[in-house]
Structures are given as C-alpha cells and as structure tokens.
Amino acid sequence: MSAPALSSSPVEGFTSTRFAQHLSHRAYLPAWWLEAKKAAWNQFNALPLPSRTDENWRFSDLKGLDLSGFTVPEDHSRQIPNVSSFPEAAEIVFSNRQVVARSHVSADLAAKGVIFAPLDEALRQHGDLVRTYFQKHPANLGSEKFVALNTALTVAGGFLYVPADVEVALPFVIQHTLTGHNVSVFPHTIVVLGPRAKATLVEFFVSGGSSSDAGRSLANAAPTERQFVSGVNDLHAAEGAQLTYVGAQRWSRETLAIQVNSIAAERDARVLSLNLHLGGRQARHESHSRLLGPGADGDSEFDQRPLQTHVSPRTTSNLPYKNALLDTAKTIFSGLIIVEPDAQKTDAYQKNRNLMLSDTAEAHSLPGLEIQANDVKCSHGSTSARIDGEQEFYLKARGINPTEARRLLVSAFFEEVLNKLENEDLHAALTGLIAAQFKK
C-alpha cells in the first residue's frame, strides 16, 4: 500500500505559495498560458497519487512516488558538459531550468520558416502556434497527476516547428541537465512537422550531480543525488511528414523520472520514436501514439507504457522494445495496441525482448491487445532469456574475452532497433552510450 504521506494535499516544495511565486515571475507570458497553468495546478492538487489497485501502475513501485522534499531549483551550475558529439542543425542546453547554451538555426532554415526556440521564447513570439499544439492529444495512461504538475511548473522546454515541404537532414538537439540534491525539473517539448516535412530531434537528459562534479558526461558513472523529473512531449506529424525522435536519458541513480509522450501521426506520416534509458532509480515512460490519418506509420522503441491507438483504416505500427537487464535492474513493459472499430486493415506489431544478464534482474511484461475491427493483422511477442550460450561460446572459441563477447552480443541485440536511425553520427553516438555501460 502507498504510504500515508502520499496524500493529495500539496507536498513540500510544491506549495501554493511556491506556485503563486512561479506565476508572478511569468506575468509577461500570454494569458491563456497562465490560465492553463492555474488549471493544471488545481488538477494536480485534486488528483490522487496512483494506488495499488490502479491497473495502469501494476507492478510499479509506488513507494518511489513520494514527492516530499523536492524543490524547484532557481539557479543553475556554472559548467555544463555538452554531450552531443555529432553535427547538429541547432542546439539548446538547459541546466536545471535555464538556457545556458544555445545555437540558432541557419539563416537558410530560418528563411524557410523553421522555428527552434526555448518554450519561453516560443510562447512570446509564436504564442498562437504553441497554443494550437500544446497538449492537443493528452496521453491518459495513469500519470495525469504528473502531467498536470508539468504544465503548472514547466519552464524548461523546446519548441520545434518545421513548415510544409521543408526537410532538415541534421538533427536538432535539446539537452536537459539536472544538478543538485532534491531538485526537480519539468521539461516540455513540442514538435510540429508540417505536411511532408522531415526532421530529427534528439533529447538528452542527464544528471550533472553536484556542481563540483561538472564535467561528467552522459557516458560516465552516474551520480547519486535524489532528483525528480516529470517530462511531457507533444509530437505532431502532419500528412506525409517524417519525424524521428530520440530520447536518451542517463539520470542519477536516485532519480524518479516520469516521461509522458503523446505522438500524433496524420495521413501517411511516419514517426520513429526511439528511447534509450540508461539511468534513474525509477523511470516511467508513457507513450500514447495515435495513428489518426489513413496510412500513418509509427515505428517505436519505448521503455514502459506504450499505447498504440489505431483510429483510421490502413495504418501500421511496430514497437520493437528491447531490454538488456544488468545487476538488479527491473523493467516493466506494459504495451497496449488498441484498434478502434473503424480502423480496418490495421497492421500492428509489438515485441518485447528481455535479455537477462544477471541473476538478480527482473522483467515484467504485459503486452496487451484490444481489437475491435476484424480485418486486421495484429500480433505481439514477448521473450525473456539469457544470452545464447552457443553464440557466446562461438565468440570465446575465437579468442574474444567473455566481457567483450557479452558486449558484442548485447550491441547486436540492440542493433535491430538502432539501425532504424538514418543519421550515422547519431547511430554511432547512441551505440557508444550503450557500450559505455559495459566498461564498469
């Protein structure tokens, strides 16, 4: 059962006084935005924390949801490492909640109408555009309370808009670094791709540890500060658009991280969403993809609670979800494919493969289907097993040491997912992050 401390009353750090202060500092933002924040604040207070009987939180550690003690940081550390190591279209780096480094889009892209700005700036300069897409299709997968808190307190966030027919080859990068003990942050990213537009957005989430530890990079050992992150993303792909979204997180070992993504794909759009989870004490990832227009295609690798809703006919989706479990890792995969009555000719696949690399690892798998149309092809598969002994033996017989053999087999295991990335530099960067896990 949840501890008595987990009541619906405002918790320490997230008090009404604190919220009033937050609003008063942002009086310069559009009125609708401030109203949305007030409504969300009330919703956050009204909603209860998830309980043991909540099916959306089955198997989850509810004790870990204790929000007491967390505070909203006001300052940021001085030195922030830049973790991305590949050519970018533009970049925004946040430390705690503030922009500490930023590169702008090229004049050429700006002339075509591409907007890439921190949320604060986007609200002031493109308020109506943000308003159209902000929480247009909220995900309802159990974390409504945390989404409300995100809306109420979000400051750090990015807005990417790529107009119709514009293709951007290089990735856009947003980095969030969280520093300090008991701090919290609420990133909110909105991506809007116009018809037939093409773009890639990469988000890095990393704990910077105490300020003296600055200089850590995503690949180094994780710091241990207790931190709280509630992130929300709204991703929209209009007719025929192609969006690649990559989220890579390496939070501290004591971080509670909840990420809720809402993905909407219109007619013939393709969305590839790839999420790499390396850190955190408890990381929950909810993702609700809506395949709205006929022929839309979602192709994703998720961490926790993906929901694929097929609303229109002739849509396809594919979720390969792979976990390699080291040490005492625990994963929960609760995937659901919903095919609504009108969504005939749907092709939907879900795959959860757990590679058990330690005897103390724990894998929970709940792959679900709710099908209400008959002319469909839907399937899911789930496997949990150790590394194939024969494959390991083959490598060892050729003089490769056991650690290296395991590393190779794990990279191969993830390759099926990573090779969906077109950008080779990005592919190399992510492969490097996974390889770093085996250096310890």
Partner 1 sequence: MQPPSDLLAAPETEAADTATAVENPTVGIDQSVGDFTYDVKYAFDAGSGLNEGVIRYISDVKKEASWILDFRLKAYQTFLDKPMPTHWATKDLENIDFNKIRYYLSQGQKPKRTWDEVPDDIKRTFERLGIPEQERKFLAGVEAQFDSEAAYSNVKDIVAKQGVIFCNSTEALREHPEIFRKWFGKVIPTGDNKFSALNSAVFSGGSFIYVPPGVKVAMPLQAYFRINAENFGQFERTLIIADEGAEVTYMEGCTAPKFSTSTLHSAVVELVALKGAKIQYITVQNWAPNVFNLVTKRAIAMEDAEVKWIDCNIGSRLTMKYPGVILKGKRARGEVISIALANDGQHQDTGAKMIHAADDTTSVIVAKSISVGQGRSTYRGVVHIPKHLKGCKNNTECDALLINTNSRTDTYPAIVVRGDTHAVQHEASVSKVSEDMIFYMQQRGLTEAQAMSLAVNGFVNDLVRQFPMEYSVELKRLIDLEMEGSVG
**Residues in touch with partner 1 (CB under 8 A):** 53-55, 58-59, 341, 344, 354, 356-386
Find the shortest distance in angstroms from Cβ 350 to partner 1. Answer: 9
CB-wise, 236 or 288, nearer to partner 1? 288
DSSP assignment, residue 30?
A: -
Find the shortest distance in angstroms from Cβ 361 to partner 1. Answer: 7
User: Do 215 and 169 touch, CB atoms closer than 8 A?
Assistant: no
Strands 316-325 and 297-301: parallel
Q: What tokens does 63 get?
A: 């004790």
Find the shortest distance in angstroms from Cβ 344 to partner 1. Answer: 7
CB-wise, 237 or 378, nearer to partner 1? 378
CA dihedral 171, 223, 189, 247 (to 10 degrees): 50
**Where does 126-225 have alpha helices with state H?**
127-133, 144-153
CB-wise, 193 or 324, nearer to partner 1? 324
Find the shortest distance in angstroms from Cβ 300 to partner 1. Answer: 19
CB-wise, 84 or 354, nearer to partner 1? 354
Find the shortest distance in angstroms from Cβ 117 to partner 1. Answer: 43
Find the shortest distance in angstroms from Cβ 332 to partner 1. Answer: 9
Find the shortest distance in angstroms from Cβ 372 to partner 1. Answer: 5
Find the shortest distance in angstroms from Cβ 253 to partner 1. Answer: 20
User: Do 197 and 166 touch, CB atoms closer than 8 A?
Assistant: yes
CB-wise, 168 or 336, nearer to partner 1? 336
> What is the C-alpha to C-alpha distance for residues 201 and 105, in angstroms, rounded to an integer?
13
> What is the C-alpha to C-alpha distance for residues 378 and 316, in angstroms, rounded to an integer?
10
Angle 167-173-174 from CA coordinates, rounded to 5°: 135
> What is the C-alpha to C-alpha distance for residues 335 and 319, in angstroms, rounded to an integer?
9
CB-wise, 80 or 363, nearer to partner 1? 363
> What is the C-alpha to C-alpha distance for residues 253 and 263, in angstroms, rounded to an integer?
28
User: Do 191 and 163 touch, CB atoms closer than 8 A?
Assistant: no
CB-wise, 170 or 378, nearer to partner 1? 378
What are the E-state strand segments in 252-329? 254-265, 270-277, 282-291, 297-301, 305-310, 316-325
CB-wise, 165 or 327, nearer to partner 1? 327
> What is the C-alpha to C-alpha distance for residues 285 and 313, in angstroms, rounded to an integer?
27
